[in-house]
Amino acid sequence: MKPSIAKIRGFFDRSHRDESGAVALLCLAAVLALMMVAWIIVDAHKSTKDKIMLQGAADTAAFSHASVEARSMNMIAYSNISKRSIVGIHSLYPSFFAAYTVWLAGKVADCLKIPPNLGACATAIYNAPTWISEFIGDHVKYSGDPITPYIEAAAEGLTDIVGTISGLKDGLDELGFGIDLSPLGSGNSENAHLSDIRALDNYQHYMLHITPWWAFTEHLSRGWRNGASAVASFPPPPGRVTIGLSAIQNVIDKINTALSLFGIQTIDLTTFHGNDNLPISKASWGSGFLSPPPAVNWMCQMVTGYSNCGLSLDSLGSYSLSSLKSMGNESYIVEHIANTIRHKQESGVDAANGFVMATGPTLFFATVGLLYSDSVFGETAFPYEIDGGSGGEWLKRTSNMVFAYHNDPSRFDEDRQKYGFLSREYTHAAGLIDDLMYKSSGYWTMAKSEITFNGSGFPPDVWHPSWTARMRPVHLPGEFSDAGFQMNDAYMQTLPYLALSAQVASVTSSGALDAILNSLRDMAMMHIYTSAMGDSTSGGIAK
């Protein structure tokens, strides 16, 4: 035997006797296991990194969407407050002048009694020049002529009471006896106040209708910039996406052909469960002057934010202070009282007596001032109010659910081959569509955010700019069923926007154009996955 062979045999014999060889083999196996674990960690790191990146994109997109809507709610609230200020200022002058006129008429009536009240006569004579100067001076600047505010206010009041003035006017017009109750001239009411109200109303209308698309484009840009290949939210903005629908439908038709062979539910692209919109609408109180007067409700809405305050004319005496309290700052009350006392002290013609100060901002404010403002502004001055519907509808309209997708074709190609994916002969009969059912080209995530009202104890309204955005779980117990939709409905309505998002993103991403078809297949197959997310299975979804 050669010496070299003898040495090797001796080494193995000694290793066999003291079992050191087994230890060496065990160490080699351990090294191999550690190497395999390291490979898995490396591969898992890539998948985990992509998943975390995509979840961040979905979270950023969802929060940006809600932030835009909260900003719009606050701007509409600011506009409501501006409308309230303009209507109040516009209504205050004729209401005080009407109170002054009634007070002066009372003095004249006392003077004409037998025997006459000499003190009343002196007061009437002393105030008459001031009243005449005001009647033909500031009134003309205010409304274009001295009598329009009262004609218009009376017409508005009668219209609310009997509801026949407009019909009577139309009938007289047909007979050739037209009645024109419009202002005889153009004063500050139309040149200034009405123009401001129109500008605010147009701004509110614009914000209400542009916000869904503004929020949509914002979450698109945020999602793309953070790594998502496609991103869209439910409810989608109003309108209908037609670009890319034919490509989506072709993919869906091929999938439906395969699904129908095995009796699986096919995909239906047509679904509608509402569009994205703010939970508000323009206030409208209708008719019915006596219980309670629309003008009184208007005043209450303008100051407190509640459309039905249940006020009546006999409670208007204490309304000023109670309305100021509703602003949430007691200093307004002190300021109001101080200004009232100073106005009484500085009045040189006794116009600021108890009657005028008590009835001007209350009774005459509602019956003259606001009715005249109603005749000038009409629905243009109506504020926006909360209109959220049922509990489920409110959750749907105040929240947005973002679907985010990141295309990565290598995920189920070379990455999957490392783990020895089983051949089709080892699968069940449906193995013919393994590639269709299980082979995806990317990652999916979801996120949800909402707008919330932080009004310091106030219920949600459009009078306090206290709306903000926050993240929230994707599903709350019974949320989808209360609103009349399921996860699959939400996804299928969002699908065209996802496909459009993927195509637009391909323009700004190198090499992404070839991945669009794979992306569309993944998007179509998400129909099957979301179909399994019913009330019982969606309850645990946080992201």
Per-run averaged pLDDT (10 residues), the chain, 543 residues: 72 71 82 85 76 91 96 94 85 83 87 85 85 79 69 60 47 46 57 89 94 92 89 84 59 62 57 79 55 48 49 41 40 51 50 64 75 81 85 89 82 56 47 53 87 84 91 86 82 81 63 59 75 71 59
Task: Tell me what pLDDT residue 288 has.
Answer: 33
pLDDT digits over 497-518, tens only?
887 777 766 655 544 455 566 6
Out of 386, 421, 452, a domain closes at 386
- Per the domain annotation, does 379 fall within a domain? yes
Domain presence at residue 6: no
Residue 71: per-residue pLDDT: 96
Condensed to tens digits (0 to 9), the pLDDT of residues 318-357 reads 444 344 334 334 444 455 555 555 555 555 444 446 677 6
Within 10 angstroms of residue 185's Cβ, the number of other Cβ atoms is 11
- Using a CB cutoff of 8 Å and minimum separation of 24, what contacts does 502-505 make? 502/229, 502/230, 502/405, 502/407, 503/243, 503/244, 504/220, 505/224, 505/228, 505/229, 505/230
pLDDT of residue 156: 58
Q: Does 411 lie in the same domain as 364?
A: no
Judge if 335 and 350 occupy the same domain. Answer: yes
> What pLDDT score does 162 carry?
42
Residue-wise pLDDT tens digits, 109-156: 888 888 888 888 988 888 888 888 887 777 777 776 666 666 666 665
- Residues 492, 466 within the same domain: yes
Q: pTM score, two decimals?
A: 0.72
Residue ending a domain, among 359, 386, 413, is 386
- Establish if 125 belongs to a structural domain: yes
**How many domains does the chain fold into?**
2
Asked whether the beta carbons of 280 and 462 are under 8 A apart, the reply is yes
In a domain, 32, yes or no: no
Whether residue 199 sits in one domain with residue 223: no
Indicate if 400 and 485 belong to the same structural domain.
Answer: yes
Whether residue 199 is found in the same domain as residue 270: no
Residue 495 and residue 404 share a domain: yes
Residues spanned by the domain of 184: 89-206+294-386
At which of 386, 405, 433 does a domain end?
Answer: 386
The token duo for 493 is 């309505």
Residue 388 CB coordination number (10 Å): 16
- Rounded Cα distance between 241 and 503, Å, is 13
